[in-house]
Chains A and B, each alone.
Chain A
Amino acid sequence: GNSVTQMEGPVTLSEEAFLTINCTYTATGYPSLFWYVQYPGEGLQLLLKATKADDKGSNKGFEATYRKETTSFHLEKGSVQVSDSAVYFCARSANTGNQFYFGTGTSLTVIP
């Protein structure tokens, strides 16, 4: 199969808590992996990406490491802020061709 599975939400955290959103993928070969963020009322924005095994993508305090052995790309942040409240999507590219596969999204709410 060619799918992306991410942790179901919603997730509610207090400010400064540690965040993990799990993401695993199934694929033949080595796709590129992405995390997108969607703030309320907006489109998706690329948060970070990794294109090969053991690559770490990072942006705005968020990190995710491409783990080939566990086919995972978990999103982490050490200390979340209220402004991080959004829906987070894990995604992978196809090995060939144009298809792009998104997970179902995980809603995060950070409370002060």
Chain B
Amino acid sequence: DTAVSQTPKYLVTQMGNDKSIKCEQNLGHDTMYWYKQDSKKFLKIMFSYNNKELIINETVPNRFSPKSPDKAHLNLHINSLELGDSAVYFCASSPGTGGFSQHFGDGTRLSIL
């Protein structure tokens, strides 16, 4: 029933590890996003895909690699995790590009030890 679902909800791991976060939307939307929210609640867009095609790729370390196997899924893989990667990562979707509102998942809280 959940519109935008992300897994896992919590991720605790060691520095240097590789991890993935998965996102799925059942709204039939064409566009999906990944955001990073820091401890001060500042929200920064990382990537956006429209119909499986990358359309926004902000200044993000290349240790972060998004993958969209189909337009309902957008996964985020992170290599060689660093302490500064600790944050809450949100997936979102919208019907398309332009002035549409976005629907957010509940977030994945990533903690690096």
| Interface positions of A (Cβ within 8 A of B) | 31-32, 34, 36, 38, 41-46, 49, 51, 87, 89, 93-94, 96-100, 102, 104-105, 107
Identify which of A36, A42, A89, A104 contacts B107 (C-beta below 8 A). Answer: A42
A43 lies within 8 A of B97 (CB) = no
Residues of B within 8 A of A102 (CB): 43
Q: Which 6 A-B pairs have the closest CB atoms?
A: A32-B99, A43-B104, A98-B97, A93-B99, A105-B41, A44-B104
* Contact call B102/A100, Cβ cutoff below 8 A: yes
Cβ contact of B101, chosen from A46, A96, A97, A104, cutoff 8 A: A46
> Which residues does chain A contribute within 8 Å of B100, judged by CB atoms?
32, 93
Would you call A98 and B41 a contact (CB within 8 A)? no
Say yes or no: A43 contacts B99, CB within 8 Å. no
- B25 CB within 8 Å of chain A: no
Residues of chain A lying within 8 A (CB to CB) of residue B92: 43-44
Question: Is A49 a contact partner of B101 (Cβ separation < 8 A)?
Answer: yes
Interface residues of B (CB under 8 A from A): 4, 31, 33, 40-43, 45, 48, 50, 55-56, 90, 92, 97-107
- Contact A100 B90, CB 8 Å, known A43-B104, A93-B99: no
**Of all chain A residues, which has the CB nearest B31?**
A98
Chain B residues whose C-beta falls within 8 Å of the C-beta of A98 in the assembled complex: 31, 48, 50, 55-56, 97-98
Whole-angstrom distance between the Cβ of A81 and the nearest chain B Cβ: 21
Enumerate 19 A-B pairs (CB-CB under 8 Å) in ascending A order. A43-B90, A43-B92, A43-B104, A44-B90, A44-B102, A44-B104, A46-B102, A49-B101, A87-B41, A93-B99, A93-B100, A97-B97, A98-B56, A98-B97, A102-B43, A104-B40, A104-B41, A105-B42, A107-B41
- Please measure, in the bound complex, the distance between the C-alpha atom of A34 and the C-alpha atom of B56, giving whole angstroms: 20
B103: which A residues are within 8 A, CB to CB?
46
Contacts of A38 in B (CB 8 A): 41
Known A32-B99, A98-B98; contact A43-B107, beta-carbon cutoff 8 A: yes
